[in-house]
Amino acid sequence: MILQTALLFAGACIASVFDISTALTKGHDLSSVGLMETDQGAKWISTSGNTTTIESILGTGGMDTVRLRIWTAGDYDLDYTLALAQRFSKAGYKIYLDMHFSDTWADPTAQAIPSSWDDSSVDTLAADLQAYVKSTLKSFTDGGVDLEILSLGNEITNGFLFPTGKIDNNDFSGFATLWKAARQGVTDAVSAGTTQPKVMIHLDNGWKSETVSWFFKSLFAEGTVTTDD
């Protein structure tokens, strides 16, 4: 079921207005760590002045979860993100995968459809989306990583996969169809042997209760997506 847990991350607040639980995850987005180390030569120094790994420093500080973004292409593609996930999972961290469903950054103003996907209709786009989610989750499982949390889309207050899945004039139909397809991709992956992650809807500015309330009430009123998803 979605929306059962309030999750607080540095830079992100995701909460259900319907069922706020007491669970708290201590995490941070470390998506750029690999790029910082390889491209910029970043070093990690503990408070005692010793050069060590970032996973050692943050684990000592009490962090238990790492969020990693994944793009359909570009710097944060499957190969790059899976390698980071394997690294942090081996160090004992739970993995939260943030799927952008784009070849680049996705946010409330920019949610570009991946260049290789068929956007000739909502149905063809939904099929590509569903297949992508399934194959991505399978790749993580095959790579030895069990996902703890999975957000289907990043900062999707205005929808995703624009223009097909954009929320215009409170019309959630296109978005709901696509999000449901993504959620079905999770079910397909679980049926194929992956573990069941906690599925998240990720909104920007999640502390704005009126926006969160509008989004979920409107989404569920449309009828395609339910709290059972």
Mean pLDDT calculated for residue range 7-16: 38
> Over 50: is that where the pLDDT of 38 sits?
yes
Exposed e or buried b for every residue in 161-175, given b needs 16+ CB within 10 A?
bbebbebeeeebebb
Q: Is pLDDT at 9 greater than 60 in this prediction?
A: no
Asked if pLDDT for residue 12 goes beyond 70, the answer is no
Residue 114 has pLDDT above 60, yes or no: yes
Instruction: Give me the mean pLDDT over the 96-103 stretch.
Output: 99
Query: Alpha-carbon distance 224 to 74, whole Å?
Result: 32
Strand partners, 159: 166
Contacts of 50 (CB under 8 A, 6+ apart): none
Q: Is the pLDDT of residue 13 over 70?
A: no
> 177-213 pLDDT, tens per residue?
999 999 999 999 999 999 999 999 999 988 899 999 9
For 11, counting Cβ atoms within 10 Å of its Cβ (0-12 exposed, 13-18 middle, 19+ buried), the class is exposed
Which among 154, 136, 153 is positioned nearest to 194, based on CA atoms?
136
The 10s digit of each residue's pLDDT in 45-79 is 999 999 999 999 999 999 999 999 999 999 999 99
What does the alpha-carbon distance between residue 178 and residue 161 come to, in Å, rounded to a whole number? 8
Contact 91, 59 (CB under 8 A): yes
Instruction: Specify the pLDDT at position 226.
Output: 93
Residue 1 has what pLDDT?
53
Distance CA 105, CA 69 (A): 9
Tokens of 136: 């991505």
Q: Which fold has domain 7-222?
A: TIM Barrel (3.20.20)
Enumerate the domain spans of the chain. Answer: 7-222
Confidence of residue 10 (pLDDT cuts 50, 70, 90): very low
Confidence (pLDDT) at 23: 64
40 pLDDT more than 90:
yes
